[in-house]
Chains A and B, each alone.
Chain A
């Protein structure tokens, strides 16, 4: 009853519901633009959340994520270009359906499956996160150190093929996190007399520069690839079709749940896995690739489920497992909220508001998904030069709102260059972001623990939570490395004959 009362107060006294709907609309539009991924769509809004109430800001960002997962499937189906990475699996059967003149039907199935996936994800989120809140008081500085290390260990699975480059990106991220006043002694480090650096580097600036700006730079000079002429209307599936989709949607939900819980590719892996599984378990596997409705339903249910379930590790442990959740974490940090067990204790209203906002956004998705389609098509048809100009204008204006400082605008431009160079040289982004976001917590909790113990490292072994978290991180690193080595060996075996040919012509 208590939480029902809270929900009523939240929905009548705060901006949660408008924020959820605005975020949803923004997410659908941003997701629909090819090249603008869910994380970029969120990063573009991030600076604006600075002056908002914490609950409103978090709901806004989470709703963008939900909207972008559906929005991404629009160009995937219509122009064979996934708007977001996780919509890549939808292209296979979605575009095939469009070629058969069934685009409206494909969009309807995507919308309906996304709705079910999101609802399932939300239920999982609410039931699985809440029980963790009792841990709040038990978390000591040593436990927070374990938590930070667990977060950093995610890097091991994010190295994108090169462990050295992944680690280097993480170290640079940690270096950025050391700028500003030292967390224990209060001495200034690496500020070089710049007043804007005294408070440290806002992770937001790194995210906007590395994700959004570098994407514009990479796309610079690209030609237009697509044009949409025909008029399309969304057709929601009939009762009969809904029943036929149940199996593939169920597979999508389960895959989405697992992908959300484990650090990974932010929905794209679940989408492809569920596509494969849906084909394996389908009654008519031969239709896959030839415009199967199940082939659209499974990945769309999966990537929408991930949009909610990926919040489980974020809320309960503060671990961002994808680019999008890293941006969401940035939203929390802007308002001084540190996700983790303590969040439920100290900011229960924010968590409750997030649940409520997600619910509103998911329900709103069904309506806005249909209404916004013409706008999305119009937007996709805009000439790219103007889109680039407006997006850059939005980035540079948005960053200024953070602190009314031109220094920050310049800093974002520099981060754009860093992001561009990282892309070109094959460095992954997420380790960098994780380093920036977690560096402060890892360092301060480590040093705080040592101050408590008088320099004795055994204090970490005396805290069962810290020991547990460190063991999990260790296991995770070993598992990821083992997998990387196996894959590298396999790649080498394939590559060897080629090399021989090259050296002995």
Chain B
């Protein structure tokens, strides 16, 4: 399966799901003639049409010249892009942080996040790993909670311990 076919099918599914959700938008007397559903329906149709072209192109095996590097303002520096499982793993660590935050509290979660990412990115396992994690946890906590006054979650664990 090539990239055009895969992305075409994905977008087709998105167009379908979006259209279905747009159909559930209720009517209202305050609506104008075009209505809240007008644009969504047009967009769903447009995306379905574009996705079909991609699917057809993918099926026909027509490779197009892609200059995505130019379009995205980022350049290829010789290193190939990380494979999907590797990138998903990276994302998973971020998701684990979101889950851990309300329990462990902000400084601990951030320290763990930094340590996990460093390990995932194959940092050498020496004294620098815990040092960087603890330094990061304290630095971010000072920066956000103290300097910027953002109430990052203190965590169930610590509220229970200290109250």
Q: Which residues of A contact B (CB under 8 A)?
A: 34-35, 37, 39, 48, 51, 81-82, 85, 88, 158-162, 164-168, 171-172, 174-175, 178, 182, 184-187, 189-190, 192, 213, 215-223, 225, 265-266, 268, 322-323, 383-386, 388-390, 392-394, 396-397, 400-401, 404, 406, 409-410, 413, 416-417, 420-421, 423-430, 443, 446-447, 450-451, 455, 488, 491, 495
Contact = CB atoms under 8 A, between A and B. Distances in A.
**4 tightest A-B contacts by CB?**
A160-B71, A428-B71, A385-B121, A385-B123
Q: Which secondary structure dominates where chain A touches chain B?
A: helix
A386 B130 CA distance: 11
Contact of B94 (A182, A184, A416, A451): A416
A221 B30 CA distance: 54
B98 A390 contact: no
A102 to B, nearest CB: 24
B70 interface: yes
A323 B113 CA distance: 28
B132 A392 contact: no
Contacts of B140: 393-394, 397
Contacts of B104: none
Q: Which secondary structure dominates where chain B touches chain A?
A: helix
Contacts of A429: 71-73
A386 B71 contact: no
B50 A393 contact: no
A184 B32 contact: yes
Given A222-B79, A389-B115, A189 B40 contact: yes
A416 B72 contact: no
Contact of A178 (B39, B89, B101, B113): B39
9 contacts: A37-B74, A182-B25, A189-B40, A385-B117, A385-B120, A389-B121, A420-B87, A446-B34, A450-B34
Interface in B59-115: 64-68, 70-75, 77, 79, 81-82, 84, 86-91, 93-95, 97-98, 101-102, 106, 110, 113-115
Contacts of A175: 14, 18, 40, 43, 47
Contact of A426 (B66, B94, B120): B66
Nearest to A394: B140
Interface in B6-58: 6-7, 10-11, 14, 18, 21-22, 25-26, 28, 30-36, 38-40, 43, 46-47, 50-51, 53-54, 57
Given A220-B82, A220-B87, A400-B150, A406 B72 contact: no
B160 interface: no
B50 A164 contact: yes
